[in-house]
Amino acid sequence: MKFYITILTLAVVALTSCKKLLEPEPENLKTLDQMYTDANFAQGFLVNAYRTIPNYYDNSEYATDDAVTNQLGQAYQQLTTGSWTATNNPASVWNQSYEAIQYINLFLENSAKVKWAEDPEASKLFNIRMRGEAFGLRGLYMYFLLRHHGGVASNGQLTGVPIITQYQTPNADFNVPRASFDACVKQAYKDLDSAETYLPVEYNDVASGAQIPDRFKVYTQNAETYNRVMGQFARQLFNGLIAKSFRARLALLAASPAFQNSSNTVTWTDAATYSAAIIDYKGGANALPQNGGTYYANTAEVDGIGGGINPPEIIWRQNVATSDGTQEAQNFPPSLFGTGFMNPTQNLVDAFPMANGYPIGHPNANYNPANPYTGRDPRFARYIIYNGSTAGVSNTVIRTGSASGSDDGVNVRSTSTRTGYYMKKRLRMDVNRNPNSISGKNHYTPRIRYTEIYLNYAEAANEAFGPTGTGTRSYSAYDIIKAIRKRALGLNTDPYLEECKGDQAKMRELIRNERRLELCFESFRFWDLRRWKVDLSKLNETARGLDVNGTVYTPLNNVETRSYQSYMYFGPIPNSEVLKYSQLLQNQGWK
């Protein structure tokens, strides 16, 4: 955790020769004192913390039963084959998180001394807003550290990570032990509480001083001043709603089976309550946007984004990338000039129910193995390209059979699918990758979707109150899942849901499956399976595919095996850190 920062344009420059030629002139050196008079330099510390937020699309699906990749040697693909170690961990967020926390702590210790604006009212508002952002980001990084590195340590205790709330100078004691998991959760809650105190729920302009939220009126009653700092120009920075969302995420993680422990005070009721606060803000159980499940492909909506505004499905997102085709270049089939990286598995395909809502193995499903793609949940065709699908700007028919004569066929070339399927979710079909007429489109990557929070509530409420219990709210897990499935399936009546609502265990499986479908290819499955502490055989479920040639369906039952051990429910602490610091205990089993 030795991440101290030399103030030289936020970087360390170590030069031992060519001093006259290469040593920066004195006026180019940035000192801490200059932070107080250079607001842009001071804000740069926060900018660095934003830059290293873990990616929403990390492609960890490659290490689950949902997908494989034709990028042989890709980090997560290697992880599945037994090469996941404390030295080789593609899922580690340790270094980037603690480096960001260093920037955050340095900022928090000095922000009050910065002259943020000539107007004293604006200067005070800028200070509290950016302090709120800093506290929120520190809570965010604690969530990711716990998700990726929390676990049962070598002493048998449920353990978190070192809590660092002060800037560590080069003379600091870096040999800091891991705090208890519960202490880490409480520290994150404290930081997120501070963020909510300092920040508006969302950044919007006000029309008059009377509309300024009461807690900010002590700083200014001038609408123009408020809008300058807390208005639309700050959109996509950390806000109060994002703080609520990370509290809900953290509570769900902490309440999950893998982390249930007498030393951990978080309950399923807590997790339900924190998610419910966001659902209430959104407008209740039935407030999810009808097109939310296709957030990536709502072309008019995506193309019309401006002024930092979010689509109705989105709580937080990254900036819009214009004229972009990166996702399509990586994931389109070869016939559409893509490299087909993400190959959904038959395992995932089988998880999609029929259009009547019944799982394909249910007696009432009416599933026909000789015509497996007919009558399925509409999400299947929206999220996955299968044999006979059309895709791309010309609605090209995709043939995935090994004998189809197409480069899209199973294992025909290095960029072909290994499973008989290609990912469609995340992609815009109006992007053209043809080198003769290449054109991109606008894209954005989410950070938090409302659908995730609704699913968080459904899971927690089912565990806390049962399928139809409501706790202190007016809606239950059943109500949320009913709304999500109605949006997806268009059913006025949902007999399978009715079958599940009287049985908590059946409802649990339904909720988990809905989560799998709604959030597929959004980098949740790898972590969900671990926090649920599913049976080891589930972690090691062999990835399967299907080779379709005409009416001949040939199962591919061994596309890729998994090789996880029981200790791999929790990720490791980087071995380099354990070797350096004697008080830093490793999680059990890792070497």
pLDDT in tens, the chain (591 residues): 666 565 544 433 333 333 444 455 555 556 788 889 999 999 999 999 999 999 999 999 999 999 999 999 999 999 998 899 999 999 999 999 999 999 999 999 999 999 999 999 999 999 999 999 999 999 999 999 999 999 999 999 999 999 999 999 999 999 999 999 999 999 999 999 999 999 999 999 999 999 999 999 999 999 999 999 999 999 999 999 999 999 999 999 999 999 999 999 999 999 999 999 999 999 999 999 999 999 999 999 999 999 999 999 999 999 999 999 999 999 999 999 999 999 999 999 999 999 999 999 999 999 999 999 999 999 999 999 999 999 999 999 999 999 999 999 999 999 999 999 999 999 999 999 999 999 999 999 999 999 999 999 999 999 999 999 999 999 999 999 999 999 999 999 999 999 999 999 999 999 999 999 999 999 999 999 999 999 999 999 999 999 999 999 999 999 999 999 999 999 999 999 999 999 999 999 998
State whether the Cα torsion 345-351-354-360 is positive or negative: positive
Q: Which residue in the block uniquely carries the two structure tokens 């072909």?
A: 416
Q: What are 317's strand-pairing partners?
A: 446
* pTM score of the predicted model: 0.95
Question: Can you spell out the DSSP letters for 339-408?
Answer: ---EEE-HHHHHHS-BTTS--TTSTTS---TTSTTTTB-HHHHHHEE-TT-EETTTTEEP---TTSSSTT
Question: Can you spell out the DSSP letters for 312-335?
Answer: TTEEEEPPPEEEE-HHHHHHS-GG
> For residue 442, what are the CA distances in angstroms to 75, 295, 305, 321, 340?
28, 12, 9, 6, 20
Distance from chain centroid for Cα 176:
28
Q: For residues 57 and 426, is the Cβ–Cβ distance under 8 A?
A: yes
Distance from chain centroid for Cα 306:
23
Task: Give the Cβ contact number of residue 304 at 10 Å.
Answer: 11
Q: For residues 165 and 223, is the Cβ–Cβ distance under 8 A?
A: no
Task: Give the Cβ contact number of residue 532 at 10 Å.
Answer: 16
> For residue 276, what are the CA distances in angstroms to 14, 204, 241, 473, 488?
51, 23, 12, 8, 21
Q: Which residues contact 529 (CB under 8 A, 6 or more apart)?
A: 64, 538, 539
Architecture of domain 1-54+93-266: Alpha Horseshoe (1.25)
